[in-house]
Structure 1
Amino acid sequence: MAKKYAIVKELDEAVNLKDGTTVLQFETRLQGGLECGGAYLKYLRPQDAGWKPKEFDNESPYSIMFGPDKCGATNKLHFILKHKNPKSGEYIEHHLKYPPSVPSDKLTHVYTAILKPDNEVSILIDGEEKKKASFLSAEDFEPPLIPSKTIPDPDDKKPEDWDERAKIPDPDAVKPEDWDEDAPMEIEDEEAVKPESWLDDEPEEIDDPEATKPEDWDDEEDGEWEAPKIENPKCEIAPGCGEWKRPMKRNPAYKGKWSPPLIDNPSYKGIWKPQEIPNPNYFELEKPDFDPIAAIGIEIWTMQDGILFDNILIAKNDKVAESYRETTWKPKFEVEKEKQKAEDEAADSARLAGFQVIHWQPDFLLS
């Protein structure tokens, strides 16, 4: 059964994302696996009244969402940033394109996002870089952080006489005189001959001779009892039973319904599109204008319990994050991996218990 979970922790001091390097890192362990749900963190924007746990929900404003998300065919390490358009004032979600997949085991994994001053973001899983992208590249985020310079004119209308048909029926074409639209697609094969051993008087199904009326059958209440039908065994060894009919074959005279051939449309103007106008919300920038991170929230919908989060880190130096991975995550991961290996081997042994191993020495050779 799917459930929602939420918890929030306000930071002692907001983290500025505009200057230098910022590293977001955390560990998570999916003890029961993850069939459908999320295991991500939300890095929340400052609020005038601060962050109160009871007011934290799915609509709470964040700067970055980062972490695993799986359901059905979806398996990705989310990285979503919310950026304010300086022209419209609207906050827009920008999703990392082609994010990496997350491990499918039940071990602890560490996820790292390194935001660099050259507008690059690097995504790591267990310390290994899985994705690199540029915040300002339209190839890396959807929608792009920087909007297009022009947009389709919302007030432009397609002219009534605009013809989008590339081909039209030839108005001068005439149906041939010998074209028979009523001719059937299939006709009887007049050359077919009934097999000599065809059993005309035998039905394809007969009453089951071994069936007997149930003792509790009441003809007045249940109606007259009839034996169930079975396939006639005589028909299994014969070419067929019952009335023989000639098989059907394709009618060589069949042409179907006539329609005029298509020709190039002399009035064709192409597929209509509204004209482009300057985008009133277009802007340029050299660096993303990230809002600070004032709190960290876990707000997830999941069908599995037992999701663990640990060692949530925000650092301004990627070496600090690397040190945490080596000293806290890696030893834990190695212990879990060895334990899992032992459990798998024990399970394999249990499955093989009771099977006899036969050692066979062949008395011939193949060459």
Structure 2
Amino acid sequence: MEGRRIGRLASAAILLVLSCLAFQIRASDVIFYESFDESLEGRWIVSEKEDYEGVWKHSKSEGHEDYGLLVSEKAKKYAIVKELDENYSLKDGTVVLQYEVRLQNGLECGGAYLKYLRPQEAGWKPKEFNNESPYTIMFGPDKCGATNKVHFILKHKNPKTGEYVENHLKYPPSVPLDKLTHVYTAILTPDNEVRILVDGEEKKKANFLSADDFEPALVPAKTIPDPDDKKPEDWDERAKIPDPDAVKPDDWDEDAPMEIEDEEAVKPEGWLDDEPEEIDDPEATKPEDWDDEEDGEWEAPKIDNPKCETGPGCGEWKRPMKRNPAYKGKWHAPMIDNPNYKGIWKPRDIPNPDYFELDKPDFEPIAAVGIEIWTMQDGILFDNILITSDEKVAESYRATAWKPKFEVEKEKQKEEDAAPGSDGLTGVHKKVFDLLYKIADFPFLEPHKPKILDLIEKAESQPNITLGVLVAVAVVILSVFFKILFGGKKKDEDEGEKEGNAPRRRSTRRET
């Protein structure tokens, strides 16, 4: 009996030791974590540089007991930084950058991104942090005008020139523009990939060494167009030319009008020849302050003649115009293949003198985490900033620190949307806008993204025009699709042609 009790105690002790060891291992995976549960004082340093007048506050997230770092004033520049205990290398293994941000008053124009600073020059002090402070990675939401993206920018050192270049992720995801807490995650993996997650859902995957994923590319092209190559003077780029042997036919009449009167047209029965199309407004009266000497003789404004509404027409009847069958327009020689066509000229390629090979990005270490933004919006709340070497750790923080808050906020939003007289967007509207933002992220729509985002934002402020916006976005997508499908060719339209025998009424204008 005693032996079994001792055995159980020994097993419990072993489990306790293993649990502690597992906790230590898990804790060692966390490189940096800031929950903002404690005061900022003495830990985060506010920039003392000129122009950074925005006041940071240690504040609770609206509706929660959870604290965060708050942007408290509109139309200000903000800068604050926290140094890591030691520089952290990004060159080995997986690195996960994650943080939460809540746009409590929405986001009209401003940034809500983080800067992961590289080691600064000797003598640099955190209170000197500003937009010139060099960083390794900039990550997070930014929206203003046509800009609506979750930035991911890598500052990479060119091994040939020694200069640092900003390499921007192409086609980044859009920013969720509701007032809920969202969590942004960037996962850098040893196989040169970066994955961008929003609320735990992968929105973008890219390869650091791919020219298709970053602009400019980290690795330059092997060849470049020769800047000294010139197009020969006799180079003919015309694929088609007018047929030099063509002759205008003898019966081609270039002077025939496009339209002629329809001689077969007959004036409709009941046409009111003696009734004018417009009459004086019988209800109009001369204004009391009208001065005939200064303003001239007063005349009543014109209105459409109501008698014309019931008849087939009124005023002088004229035969309608029809297309002239003899019309041919100005003669042009038909186009034929150009026998001297050499194609579109381009300079020859030469080896790129700036080319270099790269197996992996030469990441600079992270020495500090900073927020340096300019925003027209207050109420931006940062929270739970995490740097870890384990995706599972980041996932657990999303599950425990972010998810509960998000679910509470989402339910509250649903209740507000369903409340009588609510001016907010309905749940259906929100789903529609979420879908539209996803559509705007399609790479083939990138040239039209600013226009699409502008349409979506107008609809968010005016929910009654949502249907019209859906139609407009559909038109843009179809236009792009047909341009891709048919190579941008358009059907020729002759807007000058008018057909039909219906009687024409002269256009009228009411004088006011």
Q: Where on the TM-score scale, by shorter chain, does this alignment land: which range?
A: 0.7 to 0.9
Counterparts in 2 of 1:144 and 1:214: CA distance versus 1, 3 Å: closer
- 2:290 equivalent in structure 1: 217
Local SS of the residue matching 2:327:
coil
Shift of 1:46: 1.9
Instruction: Give aligned pairs, total.
Output: 349
More displaced 10-residue stretch of structure 1: 180-189 or 17-26: 17-26
- 1:102 equivalent in structure 2: 175
Matched, 1:8 2:81: yes
Counterparts of 2:422 and 2:389, CA distance in 1: 50
Deviations 1:23-45 (A, max 9, x none): 21111001012233321111122
Matches within 5 A, 1:162-173: 162-173=235-246
Deviations 1:71-114 (A, max 9, x none): 45654322121212212323222222333333332111211112
- 2:271 equivalent in structure 1: 198
Paired residue type of 1:50: W
- 2:362 equivalent in structure 1: 289
Matches within 5 A, 1:79-98: 79-98=152-171
Matched, 1:182 2:255: yes
Paired residue type of 1:321: A
Counterparts of 1:259 and 1:53, CA distance in 2: 74
Counterparts of 1:216 and 1:38, CA distance in 2: 56
Counterparts in 2 of 1:196 and 1:349: CA distance versus 1, 3 Å: closer
Counterparts of 1:351 and 1:118, CA distance in 2: 49
TM-score (norm 1): 0.87
Paired residue type of 1:220: E
Counterparts of 1:351 and 1:12, CA distance in 2: 49
Shift of 1:292: 1.4
Matched, 1:62 2:130: no
Deviations 1:179-202 (A, max 9, x none): 111111001111222234322222
Counterparts in 2 of 1:211 and 1:135: CA distance versus 1, 3 Å: closer
Counterparts of 1:293 and 1:251, CA distance in 2: 77
Counterparts in 2 of 1:333 and 1:232: CA distance versus 1, 3 Å: closer
Counterparts of 1:235 and 1:137, CA distance in 2: 70
Paired residue type of 1:161: D
Picking from 206, 213, 232, the partner of 1:159 is 232
- 2:324 equivalent in structure 1: 251
- 1:32 equivalent in structure 2: 105
Matches within 5 A, 1:305-344: 305-344=378-417
Local SS of the residue matching 1:68:
strand
Local SS of the residue matching 1:94:
strand
- 1:50 equivalent in structure 2: 124
Counterparts of 1:216 and 1:255, CA distance in 2: 59
Long gaps (5+) in structure 2: 1-73, 424-512
Counterparts of 1:197 and 1:128, CA distance in 2: 71
Local SS of the residue matching 1:328:
helix
Shift of 1:285: 1.8
Matches within 5 A, 1:229-248: 229-248=302-321
Tell me if the contact between 1:51 and 1:295 (Cα under 8 Å) persists in the aligned partners.
Answer: no
TM-score (norm 2): 0.63
Counterparts in 2 of 1:51 and 1:127: CA distance versus 1, 3 Å: farther
Local SS of the residue matching 1:46:
coil
Shift of 1:4: 3.7
**Higher share of residues assigned helix:** 2
Counterparts in 2 of 1:237 and 1:342: CA distance versus 1, 3 Å: closer
Counterparts of 1:344 and 1:168, CA distance in 2: 64
Deviations 1:223-263 (A, max 9, x none): 21212212222222222222221111000000001111111
Counterparts in 2 of 1:249 and 1:300: CA distance versus 1, 3 Å: same
- 1:360 equivalent in structure 2: none
Counterparts of 1:329 and 1:208, CA distance in 2: 68
Counterparts in 2 of 1:309 and 1:201: CA distance versus 1, 3 Å: same
Counterparts of 1:45 and 1:276, CA distance in 2: 37
Aligned alpha-carbon RMSD (Å): 2.3
Counterparts of 2:230 and 2:162, CA distance in 1: 29
Tell me if the contact between 2:80 and 2:129 (Cα under 8 Å) persists in the aligned partners.
Answer: no
More displaced 10-residue stretch of structure 1: 137-146 or 112-121: 137-146
Tell me if the contact between 2:80 and 2:370 (Cα under 8 Å) persists in the aligned partners.
Answer: yes
Local SS of the residue matching 2:282:
coil
Counterparts of 1:231 and 1:266, CA distance in 2: 63
Counterparts in 2 of 1:168 and 1:313: CA distance versus 1, 3 Å: same
Long gaps (5+) in structure 1: 353-367
- 1:139 equivalent in structure 2: 212
Deviations 1:153-195 (A, max 9, x none): 1111111111111111111111111111111100111122223
**Higher share of residues assigned strand:** 1
Paired residue type of 2:171: Y
Tell me if the contact between 2:120 and 2:133 (Cα under 8 Å) persists in the aligned partners.
Answer: no
Matches within 5 A, 1:271-282: 271-282=344-355
